[in-house]
Amino acid sequence: MNTTTRTMFESAFAEDTYKGLTSYPKYLLSKYIYDEKGDKLFQKIMDMPEYYLTQCEFEILEQNAAEICSAFSEKEAFDLIELGAGDGKKTKILLKELLKNSDDFKYLPIDISQHALDELQKSLKKELPEAKVSPQQGTYFKTLEELAEYNRRKKVILFLGSNIGNLLHKDAVIFLSNIAKAMDKDDMLFMGFDQKKDPKKILDAYNDPNGITEAFNKNLLVRINKELGGDFNPDSFKHWETYDPETGTAKSFLVSSIEQNVKIQKLELEVHFDSWESIHTEISQKYDDSIVKWLASEAGLKVEQTFTDSAGFYKNYIFKKN
């Protein structure tokens, strides 16, 4: 492996890839799965019967839209700021309810993927042309720094899909703390948390029989090949999922089935893999009420209201500043 210290990279993707593949154990950041191809694969994942999270959150929003939107608006103007908006399918349930009630709001969908934002804006113009929409491309953390600018009126921050689960608890506290810093006392945070449940149910959600989740994780390798001049052979890596019911942590890995060297031209890097050596690609944390309350208290937030699906698999929480 080339271990020469690098100081200049053409992109954050290049720098993070270099850091991950020169670390031990090796890792890649899951946020880089989401290019145009990754976005489409994730849409397929959300439509899988095994991926219960989507259906559960849809149920919560559809059954409780009136109560949720009433809590949001409280009959005053507000900005609805969504982190990781994606295709906005679930959010549209809330947007329709808010428009039906003639609530005074502006929707600010934020996503790392410009492609996802373009598609969302196109669909909103067609389906909900009366909605005021202002898309913003960027990472969660960079955008959080800018949230404090929206102090003209009340803010309601959405973070759906249990995306908080991609962070270890210590990082989740930092993330929530940054949100709390950007909030005023009347602002709200509406966030989804996947709950602990039968471990088999969780494993099936991240290891579907049709290989969609495998292709999703391997898109990291495909993107490195495409954008950084890599020569990964995705077929020589096995997708592997684990779940620890004690910690509530599901982890995704790509495991090299052979000893091999991979060259990445734009990083001037050659990476050696032993047989069965892994690349950690993603975590998906699962929660219960006590963990969520602890995370909130550590971040200076408090739980105001909770909504759950009929099976109790998933919960959405409304937080306010503590």
Q: Are the beta carbons of 214 and 258 closer than 8 angstroms?
A: no
- Residues 145-156, mean pLDDT to the nearest whole number: 76
E-strand spans in 69-159?
78-83, 105-111, 136-137, 154-159
User: pLDDT tens digits, residue range 83-110?
Assistant: 988 889 999 999 999 999 999 999 999 8
Q: Find the range with the poorest average confidence among 14-18, 101-105, 140-144.
A: 140-144
Give 251's contacts (C-beta < 8 A, 6+ positions apart): 241, 242, 243, 244, 280, 282, 283, 284
Count the neighbouring beta carbons within 10 Å of the beta carbon of residue 319. Answer: 25
Phi, psi (rounded to 5 degrees) for 30: -65, -25
In sequence order, what DSSP letters do the residues of 252-279 get, joined into one string? EEEEESS-EEEEEGGGTEEEEE-TT-EE
**CATH architecture type of domain 52-195+287-321:** 3-Layer(aba) Sandwich (3.40)
User: pLDDT at position 1, please?
Assistant: 47
Residue percentage of the chain with pLDDT more than 90: 82
Query: Which of the two residues, 313 and 140, has the higher pLDDT score?
Result: 313
User: pLDDT tens digits, residue range 34-85?
Assistant: 888 998 999 899 899 999 999 999 999 999 999 999 999 988 899 999 998 8
Nearest CA to 219 among 50, 34, 44, 14? 34
Q: Where are the domains of the chain?
A: 12-33+207-285, 52-195+287-321
For the whole prediction, is pTM greater than 0.85? yes
pLDDT-based confidence at residue 153 (cuts at 50, 70, 90): confident
